[in-house]
């Protein structure tokens, strides 16, 4: 069955409100052309694009209808990209999906050939027109092309920068930054000491020695893909490289956390350098920083280091507790369904383990737990709900624990200020961890364990339960 998004055109009305218009001619064309055919959205889009390219003077109407269906589909995908950006960043950075749409939802459907010919003589091209003119199905799906075009739109990029958002992954930031540039940024913008700068730069050198080299080898082999979170094996090699050069002993968890902290600093610098909005450098919030920053407080460095060690320990313990609470609650709910499906709880645990700890796709997991379809596994696991519940539980647990340990290191007035800010501060850090897990789940490296912090702690819990 063909999805309605191929004949429903998403547009903005005169008040810049989103409206969906059904194009009857497009619906009739699609229902005739694809009757009784089961195809994915990507396959339908590809066939419509081919119809556009192969169209001749004798089948102008069909070619025009194929293009209209694609424009409807593109309008839906543009809206979805803007909605995703707003869901990921909007609440923390103060914008909504509706704020993004006017920059990119600028197309119109032309049914009459004569009007279309007039429009083609105009120098203005909508985003959808540019997409159709540059799309190549041999290089990827139309969905991916739409996402790329929307996120690279100059107005969208400028708007996001003004709201403190830079659309580049932590790993690409680290991969593209040389140690001398990092040294200058840490000294000029963050005012770290020479010793702190040296430690951070040495870690980046080890990251490049492993991660950048692997990326180079992939390119030589003809493999091109976005920068992903380092694998467990890569983290191990980074640890060994750092220790062999500096004699500094540090675990994989700490390496990943500190790399993310470096990337956060680079992100803030690049936003500021491009004229975007950044919050003031957080010298006054060392309590929740992943790596120790130079503080303007009166506490000595030993106290700051001790606090950070306690905080990191409490963070992992709180995450483990949140994972255990949420999974046990999920299992209790499933237990009540055992009358209709006696194996459902074991299927749930097995599927979670196969997805997170072995990196199997849902389609590979299904036959191993007695299911036929990929969507059945997705419906059983409900990973989005699972992550959302873990996020909320973690926020509640960690907030109380951080306030407890902070009492040992700060005065009453500062503790009160921290109490007022803490939920927002922790929410930002926890959101990064959840987003990392979501991103990895969407683009995993198949047949090897997932590497995000949440995935690793889930596996730790599952292995302990087994």
pLDDT digits (tens, 9 = 90+) for 261-283: 899 889 988 888 887 776 533 32
Per-residue pLDDT of 388-416, as tens digits, reads 889 888 888 887 777 676 666 555 455 55
Please tell me the predicted confidence (pLDDT) of residue 287: 31
Per-residue model confidence (pLDDT) at position 358: 86
pLDDT-based confidence at residue 115 (cuts at 50, 70, 90): very low
Q: Does residue 251 carry a pLDDT above 90?
A: no
Residue 458 · residue 356 · CB < 8 Å: yes
Predicted confidence at residue 233, as pLDDT, reads 92
3 state DSSP class of 106: coil
139-154: b or e for each residue (b if 16 or more CB lie within 10 Å)? eebbbebbbebbbebe
Closest CA to 323 of 167, 461, 158, 155: 461
In which band, very low, low, confident or very high, does the pLDDT at 127 lie, cut at 50, 70 and 90? Answer: confident
pLDDT tens for 293-331 read: 333 333 334 444 555 556 667 788 888 899 999 999 888
Q: What is the DSSP letter of 410?
A: S
List residues bridging with 52 in a β-sheet.
none
Residue closest to 312 by CA, chosen among 401, 432, 247: 401
Max CA separation in the chain (angstroms)? 82
Query: From CA 159, how far away is CA 157, in angstroms rounded?
Result: 5
Give the chain's mean pLDDT. 80
Q: What pLDDT shows up at residue 297?
A: 33
Least confident of 43-57, 154-168, 203-217, 235-249: 43-57
* Across 234-249, average pLDDT: 92
Q: Determine the Cα–Cα distance for residues 231 and 444; give it in Å rounded to an integer.
A: 10
Mean pLDDT on 421-446 = 71
User: What pLDDT is recorded for position 314?
Assistant: 78
Confirm if 26 and 72 have CB atoms less than 8 A apart: yes
- pLDDT value for 162: 87
pLDDT score recorded for residue 141: 85
């Amino acid at each position: 069955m063909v999805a309605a998004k191929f004949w429903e055109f998403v547009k903005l009305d005169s008040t810049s409100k989103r409206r969906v218009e059904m194009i009857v001619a497009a619906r009739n064309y699609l229902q005739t052309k694809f009757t009784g055919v089961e195809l994915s959205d990507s396959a339908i889009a590809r066939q419509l694009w081919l119809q556009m390219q192969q169209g001749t003077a004798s089948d102008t109407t069909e070619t025009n209808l194929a293009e209209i269906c694609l424009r409807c589909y593109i309008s839906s995908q543009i809206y979805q990209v803007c909605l995703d950006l707003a869901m990921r960043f909007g609440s923390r950075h103060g914008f909504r999906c509706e704020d993004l749409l006017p920059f990119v939802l600028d197309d119109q459907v032309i049914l009459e050939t004569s009007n279309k010919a007039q429009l083609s003589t105009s120098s203005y091209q909508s985003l959808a027109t540019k997409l159709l003119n540059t799309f190549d199905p041999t290089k990827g799906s139309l969905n991916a092309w739409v996402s790329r075009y929307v996120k690279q739109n100059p107005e969208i990029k400028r708007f996001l920068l003004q709201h403190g958002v830079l659309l580049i992954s932590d790993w690409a930031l680290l991969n593209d930054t040389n140690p001398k540039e990092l040294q200058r940024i840490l000294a000029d913008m963050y005012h770290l000491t020479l010793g702190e700068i040296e430690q951070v730069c040495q870690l980046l050198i080890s990251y490049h020695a492993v991660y950048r080299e692997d990326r180079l080898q992939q390119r030589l082999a003809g493999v091109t893909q976005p920068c992903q979170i380092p694998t467990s094996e890569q983290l191990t090699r980074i640890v060994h490289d750092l220790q062999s050069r500096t004699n500094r002993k540090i675990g994989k968890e700490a390496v990943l956390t500190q790399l993310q902290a470096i990337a956060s600093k680079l992100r803030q610098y690049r936003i500021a350098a491009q004229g975007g909005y950044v919050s003031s450098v957080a010298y006054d919030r060392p309590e929740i920083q992943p790596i120790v920053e130079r503080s303007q407080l009166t506490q000595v460095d030993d106290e700051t280091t001790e606090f950070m060690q306690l905080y990191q320990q409490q963070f992992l313990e709180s995450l483990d507790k949140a994972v255990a609470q949420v999974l046990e609650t999920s299992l209790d709910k499933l237990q009540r369904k055992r009358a209709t499906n006696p194996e459902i709880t074991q299927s749930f645990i097995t599927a979670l383990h196969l997805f997170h700890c072995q990196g199997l796709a849902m389609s590979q997991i299904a036959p191993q737990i007695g299911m036929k379809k990929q969507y059945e596994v997705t419906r059983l696991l409900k990973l989005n709900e699972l992550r959302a519940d873990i996020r909320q539980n973690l926020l509640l647990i960690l907030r109380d624990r951080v306030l407890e340990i902070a009492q040992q290191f700060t005065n009453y007035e500062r503790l009160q200020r921290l109490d007022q800010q803490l939920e927002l501060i922790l929410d930002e850090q926890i959101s990064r961890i959840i987003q990392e897990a979501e991103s990895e789940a969407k683009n995993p490296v198949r047949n090897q364990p997932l590497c995000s912090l949440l995935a690793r702690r889930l596996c730790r819990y599952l292995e302990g339960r087994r």
